[in-house]
Amino acid sequence: MNSPSTQFVSSRRMGVYDPIQQINMWGESLKSNVNLAASIPLIDEAEIKFDSQSEDASHGMLGTNNKYDQEASKPIDKIQRRLAQNREAARKSRLRKKAYVQQLESSRLKLMQLEQELERARQQGMYVGGGLDTNHLGFAGPINSGITTFEMEYGHWVEKQNSQILELRNALNSHIGDLELRILVDDMMNHYSEIFRMKSAAAKADVFYVMSGMWKTTAERFFLWIGGFRPSELLKVLLPLIEPLTEQQRLDVCNLGQSCQQAEDALSQGMEKLQQTLADSIAAGQLMEGSYIPQMATAIEKLEALVSFVNQADHLRKETLQQMSRILTIRQAARCLLALGEYFQRLRALSSLWSNRPREPA
Amino acid sequence: MEKVTRLASQNGVVIFTKSSCCLCYAVKILFQELGVNPTVHELDKDTVEGREMEKAIARLGCSAPIPVVYIGGKLVGSTNEVMSLHLSGSLIPLLKPYSATLS
């Protein structure tokens, strides 16, 4: 990339134009950064050509002028005016280019800084999940191998989920028999059991990680309820998609939804009580005294209770899925699982689109 | 264990809890939402036999040590069991005899 500019530099007559040295400097400073510099050559070559043309033109003209100096002053005026305009245009163009390069340089530095910060953050055990923007990085703590394991396993889980969804969609479109369909349905149900097992282990490692849905994408986290999706809401989404249902099935699904709602409410109220008692135990004793060791012991106990809430919420999710598979026929269950899988795929896609959307410059 | 059985065989819904346990509170709320007023025994408040009862209940082998729920003298289990029963629609029939609103 640097060769075009250096070629021009060596072919120029040195010392007449400052820009020659400037081009040399650009070339040197950009040598170390291959990526950013890759976009510059287009401008380099175009403007250097322009510069060299104006320079050669003026040199040529000057050469001609020297011969007819005393005789023709009018054409010389015109020529000199045009030369001056050329020089002015070239100068402005070089200034613009300089400004652009400086902007690129500062962006490059900023990028390097961000990359270093990110690397430091990863090493310090901050959990950078899929679709997570930098504002939500947790505070630095010792590396939690339980969470690192979970994140790695979750990546594989999503991949397998995507391929299962594809398989299920193809199977439903190809009118395969109920027996083969049952195998696919069972596989997917087992796969969901797997994520709940993983979450249980992760909750033991770091319950706040699970509570905050740190591994989820941004749009998924918008719907977060005690570390995951709210089963009754999911039923509302899925119900219209699995019609036609028999009257008994519709009744059963409605009852399931209602029971889910009641169980969720009870757990939510339990969570509120937990928050309240935690706040009480932290504030117990004399605030403003500066010492708070005894309160911490009770508070830690309360936080540990969070693990049981997360596990209970996951149990509710798992039970809801299992109840649905009992109420529905195998074909309905397959469609239900397909719809469920696609719903989450869309949420993840939404998160990705959202974080990549073009923004107004500040 | 005798005290546990004695208390458990009281009619209605009996829950053994601890005052600090918020999950126990959640289970109690669920029963109340279903129109039942459960009898709650807080094991940490029973200074005499509380510890013994706790050990006896732990030996019952429920999914968690507390809360432990009895309905009509029969052991139902802990939170997991209650939730599973409710989602499958089997909890409300069990509660019908003890609820004004359900029957």
Kindly state whether residue B26 falls inside one of the protein's structural domains. yes
Residues B70, B45: Cα–Cα separation, whole Å: 19
Q: Do A308 and B64 touch (CB under 8 A)?
A: yes
Q: Do B21 and A305 touch (CB under 8 A)?
A: yes
A256 interfacial to chain B (CB closer than 8 Å): yes
Sort out which chain A residues have CB atoms less than 8 A from B26's CB and list them.
266-267, 269-271, 273, 312
Kindly state whether residue B79 falls inside one of the protein's structural domains. yes
CATH code at position B30:
3.40.30.10
Kindly state whether residue B8 falls inside one of the protein's structural domains. yes
The per-residue pLDDT string of chain A (362 residues; one tens digit each, 9 = 90 and over) reads 444 444 444 444 444 445 545 555 544 544 444 444 444 444 444 444 444 444 444 444 444 445 555 555 678 889 999 999 999 999 999 999 999 998 888 888 888 878 777 776 766 555 554 444 433 444 445 567 888 889 999 999 999 999 999 999 999 999 889 999 999 999 999 999 999 999 999 999 999 999 999 999 999 999 999 999 999 999 999 999 888 999 999 999 999 999 999 999 999 999 999 999 888 888 776 666 666 666 777 788 888 899 999 999 999 999 999 999 999 999 999 999 999 999 999 999 999 999 888 887 76
> Contact, A330 vs A167, CB < 8 A?
no
Kindly state whether residue B86 falls inside one of the protein's structural domains. yes
**Beta B13-17 vs B68-71: how paired, if at all?**
antiparallel
Please give the pLDDT value at position A24. 53
- Judged by phi (left if over 0) then psi (alpha if -120 to 50, else beta), residue A285 lies in left
Q: In chain B, how many domains are there?
A: 1
Kindly state whether residue B57 falls inside one of the protein's structural domains. yes
B33 interfacial to chain A (CB closer than 8 Å): yes
Q: What is the ipTM of this complex?
A: 0.93
pLDDT in tens, B30-79: 999 999 999 999 998 887 888 888 888 888 888 888 899 999 889 999 99
Please give the pLDDT value at position A1. 44
Please give the pLDDT value at position A219. 93
Q: Which of B25, B33, B87 sits opposite A273 (nearest CB)?
A: B25
Where in the sequence is the domain holding B79, given as residue range(s)? 2-98
Kindly give, in sequence order, each residue whose CB lies less than 8 Å from that of residue B57, ignoring residues fewer than 6 positions away. Answer: B4, B16, B43, B65, B66, B68
Sort out which chain B residues have CB atoms less than 8 A from A302's CB and list them.
20, 22
Please give the pLDDT value at position A137. 46
Kindly state whether residue B20 falls inside one of the protein's structural domains. yes
Please give the pLDDT value at position A67. 52
Kindly state whether residue B103 falls inside one of the protein's structural domains. no
Please give the pLDDT value at position B8. 83
Kindly state whether residue B45 falls inside one of the protein's structural domains. yes
